[in-house]
Amino acid sequence: MRTLIFLFAMLVIVPTGMASSQPAPAIDPAALSRHIRILASDAFEGRGPGTEGERRTIAYLTEQFRAAGAEPGGERGGWTQAVRMNRYTLQGTPSVDFAGARDDCSFAPGEGMILWSRNPGGHVALADAPLVFAGHGVVAPELGWDDYAGANLDGAIVVLLPNDPDHGQESGPFGGRAMSYYGRFSTKAEEAARRGALAVVIVHDPETADSSWEVYRSAYSAPVNGLA
């Protein structure tokens, strides 16, 4: 399903002379807190794309930028621009079956596995695809790190661990307790796709994942939006 929604994309246009002669205004923590409380309130209904909550959010942000003296930089002199998005919804009652040297195992969505896809097609088939384990799926040349060294992912499903290799440590090449860019799910998926993987399986470990199982199940049980 394709939807056309409006995202808030405000561009502040400041004359060159003003930018060079006037100091930047101080950040007001109380004002930031007030805006966050307002936008996070039930009145904005979660701010979901294409919903009444999003329209209220855009109206609120537009008014705040206007009150701050900003000028619009969107389409036709407005404050927004149109962005085409896809909405992905899992239909039917699919299941996932793994076969190996030991007993085979099966999962139903929402129980032992959460299924999610941004494939624009109406059908996804991964029958007989081999599994390839690749650690945390991290490729960081600046750190001399490559979990895919020597691996062939063409037509395979890659199995990965969550977060960073040094997660939980006080310090390390990826920042220790703080999740790095490489620990994000989106980064892992994009890297696997570049290397020819058909899909990614990330093993959820409560000790190393950035969110609980319930958070993931709730987030990916609903329709997922993505840029087209």
- Give the position of tokens 């794309």: 49
What is the reported pLDDT for 18?
A: 44
Instruction: Tell me the per-residue pLDDT of 50-75, one tens digit each, with 9 for 90 and over.
Output: 889 999 999 999 999 999 899 999 99
Give residue 159's pLDDT band: very low, low, confident or very high (50, 70, 90): very high
Give residue 43's pLDDT band: very low, low, confident or very high (50, 70, 90): very high
Instruction: Tell me the per-residue pLDDT of 1-26, one tens digit each, with 9 for 90 and over.
Output: 333 333 333 333 333 344 446 677 78
What is the reported pLDDT for 13?
A: 34
Q: Please report, as a single letter, which amino acid is at residue 174.
A: F
HEC string for the chain: CEEEEEEECCCCCCCHHHHHHCCCCCCCHHHHHHHHHHHCCHHHHHHCCCCHHHHHHHHHHHHHHHHCCCCCCCHHHCCEEEEEEEEECCCCCCCEEECCCCCCEEECECCCECCCCCCCCCCCCCCCCCEEECCCCCEEHHHCEECCCCCCCCCCEEEECCCCCCCCCCCCCCCCCCCCHHHCHHHHHHHHHHCCCCEEEECCCCCCCCCCHHHHHHHHHCCEEEEC
CA–CA distances in Å: residue 15 to residues 23, 62, 70, 71: 13, 20, 11, 11
What mean pLDDT comes out for the span 177-186?
Answer: 87
